[in-house]
Amino acid sequence: MAYYFEECSHTFNEYLLVPGYSSAECVAAKVSLKTPLVKFKKGEEPAISLNVPMTSAIMQAVSDDKLAIALAKEGGISFIYGSQTIEDQAAMVARVKNYKAGFVVSDSNIKPDATLAEVVELTAKTGHSTIAVTDDGTANGKLLGIVTGRDYRVSRMDFATKVSEFMTPFEKLITAGKETTLKTANDIIWDNKLNSLPIIDDDGKLLYMVFRKDYSTHKENSLELIDSNKRYMVGAGINTRDYEERVPALLAAGADVLCIDSSEGFTEWQSRTIAFIREKYGDTVKVGAGNVVDRDGFMFLAEAGADFIKIGIGGGSICITREQKGIGRGQATAVIEVAAARDEYFKKTGIYIPICSDGGIVYDHHITLALAMGSDFVMLGRYFARFDESPTNKLNINGSYVKEYWGEGSNRARNWQRYDMGGDKKLSFEEGVDSYVPYAGSLKDNVTMTLSKVKSTMCNCGCLSIPEFQKNAKLTLVSSTSIIEGGAHDVILKESSSKVIK
């Protein structure tokens, strides 16, 4: 006879935190969100810790090098998606590791024979008003000039006017050489009252742009996640098929941590992948595994040697695994059981294996609930897909801005390796959808707001750190009626009421 779990499977939305005593010390400014990313022995420090408990999902629509840099600045880490060629993924990782804080590779570039119409179109696409004019229109072509909003006036110029006619030419620009430090670059900007400074090599080719506005931004990033060489840290997704070729390439590119990207982790394929890494690199290479939803799955991957374990099957906003295959578990219940297994394993072995809640997070407070239930950090897809830094297109649909977002199990991604069970090298059916998410602006602004909510709630519970929160949080299940009570009710909301007659 099949085994039946006695408890009903619950989601985050079915729980609330019950406030605890808050002393005068419990203020948001004193809350630490530092959390371990990889396993460690009792009494030791983890090889890698996050400064904020957020990672970005291993998805085409989410985690490229641009988002990885933005998230590392805030203290989290991205896992560059693996559903691409080994060479392309390694190149993304290398771009993150080679990124020099404050030195920006220009994403707005144009040829001198382009037109004003193309300048306006490019500005609308990137949102940036400073455009580098290079001989081949690339970010590393020979610099011929710069175009900013001060160089043209749309209302008074012909859209067919060539860029070469109104750009600020190279001979009138102030530039700096490739050996320039960030401090020197900022001094040049301030001394010459510039908004930007091109950094060029000995042949006059553009290397980077340094912007005045980035000076204060860099100073604000006190939590940025950097390695011993002060480079941003970045993760990368791998699969259970080509790991013998992919892993060495990603490590050579500088990846700090790896994660097996799979819809279901309780498999021999994952243990084989981890075994290969341990045999070839020992414990020097850190690799996460998953996903699992119960104690048995956690214990299997723990014994296999995983450095962290992800929780969640079918709970993602674009995931239809439960609908297609009838497998999965409510995310809250899964986190609670796996957290108990993690603590059991730690008590038995003295080895603490961090767990990550992946999927099922719709609202900011769900992150707080996941942490309270035992997650050491969360992995987010839809959340990050909404931001400027995600790799997808920003579109205007029916007057509202949205960004594209699709699942790795969709026909668009065709990431068959993620759903590989040893069969044909193809997707037999979809386990993800192609969709849109509301555009939400910059990553920094949104992450700051989200983490402010997390810290505030932790203070309400009398906790100043994640371990303390996991130990002392009090949670209660809520009824469907009390869920309704928790939102706005029995009032007429202003935005939906009739217009005021003046």
Residues identified as active-site: 319, 418
The separation between CA 152 and the C-alpha centre of its own chain, rounded to angstroms, equals 37
Q: Amino acid letter at 252?
A: A
- C-alpha 452/C-alpha 439 separation (Å) is 20
| Residue 54 burial (CB count, 10 A) | 25
Burial class (CB in 10 A: 0-12, 13-18, 19+), 183: exposed
Task: Write the burial class of residue 170 (CB in 10 Å: 0-12 exposed, 13-18 middle, 19+ buried).
Answer: middle
Q: Which residues lie closer than 8 Å to 226 by C-beta, 6 or more apart?
A: 72, 232, 233
Q: How far apart are CA 135 and CA 103, in angstroms?
A: 21
The answer to whether 321 touches 314, Cβ cutoff 8 Å, is: yes
Instruction: Calculate ∠ Cα 457-445-365, nearest 5°.
Output: 25
Backbone dihedral region for residue 414 (phi beyond 0: left; psi -120 to 50: alpha; all else: beta)? left
Residue with tokens 């699942």: 407
Which residues, other chains included, contact 60 with Cβ-Cβ below 8 Å and sequence gap of 6+?
81, 83, 84, 391, 406, 408, 413, 415
Cβ 54 vs Cβ 447: under 8 Å: yes
| Residue 17 β-bridge partners | 475
Of the chain, the end-to-end C-alpha distance in Å amounts to: 72
Q: Are 247 and 238 in contact (CB under 8 A)?
A: yes
Task: Tell me how far apart the alpha carbons of residues 105 and 11 are, in angstroms, rounded to a whole number.
Answer: 42
Q: What angle do CA 55, 39, 336 make, to 5 degrees?
A: 70
On whether the CB atoms of residues 442 and 403 are closer than 8 A, the answer is no
- The sign of the CA dihedral 410, 411, 413, 415 is positive
Place of tokens 């519970």: 461
Between the CA of residue 491 and those of 170, 479, 483, 497, what are the distances in Å? 62, 21, 16, 10
